[in-house]
Amino acid sequence: MIIGIDTSAVGVKSTGTSKYISCLLNELHKTDNTIKTFSPKQSGYLTNSKLLNLLPIIKRGGIQRNLYRKYFLSSEMEKEKVDFGIFPNYLMPNYFNKPSVIIIHDLSFASHPQFYSKAFVLFYNNQLKKTLLKNPLIVTISEYSKKCINKYLGVAENEIYLLQAYSNSVMKNDHQLINKDGSKCRYFLYVGHIEPRKNLSFLIKNFIEWKKENRLDFKLKLAGEVWTSSKEIQNLFLNYADHPDVEFLGYVSEDELHRLYSGASAFVHASFVEGFGFPVLEAMHYELPVLCSTGSGTEEISNTYSVFFNPQNSNDLKKGFDNLMQKIDKQIIGYKIKYSPELMQHQLNELLIIIERKIKESRFV
């Protein structure tokens, strides 16, 4: 069969969603199906739009993707005689009426709407309701997200399918060599967007206090694209951009990210909500001790190996830093990571059986 997949979210910059789509494409190409990808960059639609070019670059890409998905994607898939559509960004195009899969990574706009604009929350709530009326197969990335979909969308858990990605980023020898070099600056690493739901003001404030109380020589390095339009993030930079113990690195390349993971003493993640948590999984591949918050997908991903803390309790976080130091002293951590190409391929094969059945049923309607 011909499977079409929306790859609009795969751009120049690497994100959790783009990494997920890359993993999915790798596994789809191992099957006997014809795989066709669709994006505004491939099609050329809107790339020379005078109206879009007037917008700031940070807004231009998102608007271009949304316009493409809404007005052009379904017709392109029809032209290519796609039997089945995969939409990794929650929403289906309005006029696509073939059997489909939507992938819901998290429902943070429903569970934590305070971190988003009212317009953003309203848009996704309304558009997701319209998509669900088309009766797509619903796929998600963790048991945590499955429970959220059940809670906020009312979909039975046995009607939600898991399709979990993996990380290939690992060079353990580099990690061990760099960490044995006493001349290197010791630091905790955070990787992810610099945005309100990541709880970074709480993380930074308590890290600085904990370091001062324990007289330890550590820095906190934060790598990730910055939500500059957020008032909370603007205040975060006003308070900590020049602090000697905190370093904001902005978005970094994959090569630089590898260097950061390799040189870190530990990985920290204080987010209120995560559907999966690619950075946590990557840190585990580098055998870094991990400190992460309870009550989100990262707790599930790192399972019993991480140090966990309540993301709203300062004392709990500081105790977490203490426990993290004990893990750092052990140097080597033997993670058993279940997320792999084999697991994703197994889950995908089960999903493809259901997809083929849906296609056959649709031909008799």
**What's the token pair of residue 284?**
């585990």
The neighbouring-strand residues paired with 194 are 226
Q: Where are the domains of the chain?
A: 2-165+340-363, 172-330
pLDDT along the chain (365 residues), means of 10: 93 86 96 94 62 46 75 91 95 91 96 94 94 96 97 96 87 46 74 95 97 94 90 91 95 94 95 94 93 93 88 96 88 81 97 90 65
pLDDT at 282: 95
- In CATH, which of 3.10.105.10, 3.90.420.10, 3.50.50.60, 3.40.50.2000 is domain 2-165+340-363? 3.40.50.2000
Residue 228: predicted pLDDT: 80
Q: For the beta carbon of residue 315, count every other beta carbon within 10 angstroms.
A: 10
What's the fold here for domain 172-330? Answer: Rossmann fold (3.40.50)
Q: Are domains 2-165+340-363 and 172-330 of this chain identical in fold?
A: yes
User: Which among 332, 331, 324 has a CA at the least distance from the CA of 211?
Assistant: 324
Q: How far is 23 from 19, CA to CA, in rounded Å?
A: 6
Cβ atoms of residues 179 and 331 within 8 Å: yes
The dihedral through the CA atoms of 68, 70, 76, 80 has a sign that is positive
Pairing of strands 100-104, 137-140: parallel
Which phi and psi angles does 290 have, rounded to 5°? -120, 135
- Model pTM score: 0.88
Cα 268 → chain centroid: 16
The whole-angstrom separation of Cα 187 and Cα 267 is 9
| Res 66: pLDDT | 78
Question: Of 240, 236, 305, 239, nearest to 267 (Cα)?
Answer: 305
pLDDT digits (tens, 9 = 90+) for 114-143: 999 999 999 999 999 999 999 999 999 999
Residue 130 CA, distance from chain mean position: 24
Q: Which residue has the tokens 């939507």?
A: 102
